[in-house]
Amino acid sequence: MTRKQYFIIVLILGALSTISPFAIDMYLPGFPAIAKDLNTTISQVQLSLTSYLIGISAGQLLYGPLLDRYGRKTPLYIGLVVYILASLGCAFVNSADSLIAMRFLQAVGGCAGMVAAQALVRDIFPVDKTAQAFSLLTLVIAVSPMIAPTLGGYVTAEFGWHAVFLILAGITVLIMLGVYVALPEGKQADPSISLKPKPVLGNFLIVLKQPQFLIYVLAGGIATAAPFAYIAGSSDVFINIYHVSEKEYGWIFAFLAFAMIGSTQLNHVLLKRFRSQQVVYATLLYQNVVGILLVVGVWQGWFGLYSLILLMFIFLTGQGLTNPNASALSLAPFTKHTGSAAALLGSFRMAMGGLASAVVSILHSGTALPMVSVMSLCTLTGLFILVVGKSTVRYRANKREVEEDTSVLL
């Protein structure tokens, strides 16, 4: 594989992975306008984000077995078509309930890109290169939160929020063309993989019995739900509490997204000296310190707009380190069931993201406290699971060694 081919493949995989982030981020500046236009509340509009995340979570469990059974591209094309049609539907809704429903369908279609991209990384690149590939993928993904809300702010201000969903549909058509022209097929269809419920659940069970997968999916999935709490609460915090404009909010969001871009580049350097396991552990430690400072500072009223943005920037830097390394560690043990593993990985992350965003909506108090509290709780729980999980695995391994030694003596 030439350097040019490598770049093109990563770019297309990154584009597939950005379909859902774009759909999440691009309409955020329009929350107040959507609420006004549909005669509803901000918290109700926030539920359209929750429904999207739930749709991603459910949809990924569907695409995992399909990608293993029929190969990577056929299920991917079907999902992208569903996404395009649902995006058009979102542009013409006339009620909050309709928007929530269409966003769910949009997510079910769009998540095909996320699952296929992760599975194709494992198909195309060797195991020792997957963490670096995921870092580059995360870099491409991280660019979307810089572009999407900024673009969404300008589009909403100039053309209205409906135009956002029309643009999303158009972008996805272009991505489909790139997939058709330049993306390798990846793992071929495997007719031996059944789509009946019992075998499908059996494949998921095989994946879940792998200790390394379970530890890093749980720890990484919960920890990386923190940005979804930020996404759910940020438009209300910055626009309604700190009174910035839609365009200014887009630039703030872009600046905070840059935190992840810088850290993905740092991850390349760190992986030359440290293992992925060490990077994940150290990152969660420092995020917990910053998270506690955020909660206490907001509670005590220490922060103005700029100091809050600075602390948020430092906190979100960790996502560009935790996400790619936890993904690589989760998928590393698999070859045959990569699609199912990628589906479980993505599904759990989105489920946790949906839960985090829903909690922020439920706890809405007119302050930034619900947002930063949920962010901090996510990283704290992730660190706890990582420490307890690794200790449990070591204990069981030592116990087996003792039992084997005893059986030899007997």
pLDDT, the chain, mean: 80
Per-residue pLDDT of 67-109, as tens digits, reads: 877 888 888 999 999 999 999 999 999 888 999 999 999 999 9
* Least confident residue range of 228-237, 261-270, 354-363: 261-270
Pick 355 or 136 by higher pLDDT. Answer: 355
Stretch 202-218: mean pLDDT, rounded?
Answer: 79
Stretch 8-16: mean pLDDT, rounded?
Answer: 83
pLDDT for position 402: 47
∠ at Cα 106 (188, 113), nearest 5°? 25
For the cut 70, the answer to whether the pLDDT of residue 360 exceeds it is yes
pLDDT for position 264: 67
Residue 49 has which token pair? 């984000």
How many angstroms separate the CA atoms of 110 and 313, rounded?
28
| pTM exceeding the 0.85 threshold for the entire prediction | no
Can you give the chain as a three-state secondary structure string? CCHHHHHHHHHHHHHHHHHHHHHHHCCHHHHHHHHHHCCCCHHHHHHHHHHHHHHHHHHHHHHHHHHHHHCCHHHHHHHHHHHHHHHHHHHCCCCHHHHHHHHHHHHHHHHHHHHHHHHHHHHHCCHHHHHHHHHHHHHHHHHHHHHHHHHHHHHHHHHCCHHHHHHHHHHHHHHHHHHHHHCCCCCCCCCCCCCCHHHHHHHHHHHHCCHHHHHHHHHHHHHCCHHHHHHHHHHHHHHHHCCCCHHHHHHHHHHHHHHHHHHHHHHHHHCCCCCHHHHHHHHHHHHHHHHHHHHHHHHHCCCCHHHHHHHHHHHHHCHHHHHHHHHHHHHCCCCCCHHHHHHHHHHHHHHHHHHHHHHHHHCCCCCCHHHHHHHHHHHHHHHHHHHHHHHHHHHHHHHHHHHHHHHHHC
Can you give 228-296 as a three-state secondary structure string? HHHHHHHHHHHHHHCCCCHHHHHHHHHHHHHHHHHHHHHHHHHCCCCCHHHHHHHHHHHHHHHHHHHHH
pLDDT for position 325: 78
Question: What Cα–Cα distance (Å) separates residue 390 from each residue in 321, 376, 384?
Answer: 19, 22, 10
Pick 55 or 256 by higher pLDDT. Answer: 55
Pick 38 or 271 by higher pLDDT. Answer: 38
For the cut 50, the answer to whether the pLDDT of residue 188 exceeds it is yes
For the cut 50, the answer to whether the pLDDT of residue 41 exceeds it is yes
Stretch 220-247: mean pLDDT, rounded?
Answer: 79
Per-residue pLDDT of 292-351, as tens digits, reads: 888 888 888 888 888 888 888 888 888 777 777 787 777 777 666 666 777 777 777 777
Q: Using pLDDT thresholds of 50, 70 and 90, give the confidence band for residue 399.
A: low
For the cut 60, the answer to whether the pLDDT of residue 194 exceeds it is yes
pLDDT for position 290: 87
∠ at Cα 228 (226, 232), nearest 5°? 125
Choose among 315, 324, 329, 328: nearest CA to 284: 315
pLDDT for position 336: 67
* Least confident residue range of 32-36, 103-107, 167-171: 32-36
How many angstroms separate the CA atoms of 266 and 333, rounded?
25
Half-sphere exposure of 285 (CA within 13 A, CB side): 7
How many angstroms separate the CA atoms of 294 and 303, rounded?
9
pLDDT for position 408: 44
Half-sphere exposure of 130 (CA within 13 A, CB side): 25
For the cut 80, the answer to whether the pLDDT of residue 135 exceeds it is no
pLDDT for position 404: 47
Stretch 106-115: mean pLDDT, rounded?
Answer: 88
Q: Are 218 and 151 spatial neighbours (Cβ–Cβ below 8 Å)?
A: no
How many angstroms separate the CA atoms of 65 and 191, rounded?
11
For the cut 50, the answer to whether the pLDDT of residue 27 exceeds it is yes
Task: Give the end-to-end CA distance of the chain in Å, rounded to a whole number.
Answer: 55
Per-residue pLDDT of 170-184, as tens digits, reads: 999 999 998 888 887
Residue 192 has which token pair? 């031996």
Q: Using pLDDT thresholds of 50, 70 and 90, give the confidence band for residue 129.
A: low
pLDDT for position 157: 84
pLDDT for position 324: 75
How many angstroms separate the CA atoms of 64 and 35, rounded?
35
pLDDT for position 145: 62
Q: Using pLDDT thresholds of 50, 70 and 90, give the confidence band for residue 398.
A: low
* Type of residue found at 281: Y
Domains and CATH numbers, the chain: 3-186+194-402 (1.20.1250.20)
Stretch 209-225: mean pLDDT, rounded?
Answer: 81
For the cut 50, the answer to whether the pLDDT of residue 409 exceeds it is no
For the cut 50, the answer to whether the pLDDT of residue 407 exceeds it is no
**Which residues, in sequence order, are CB contacts of 163 under 8 Å at separation 6+?**
91, 155, 156
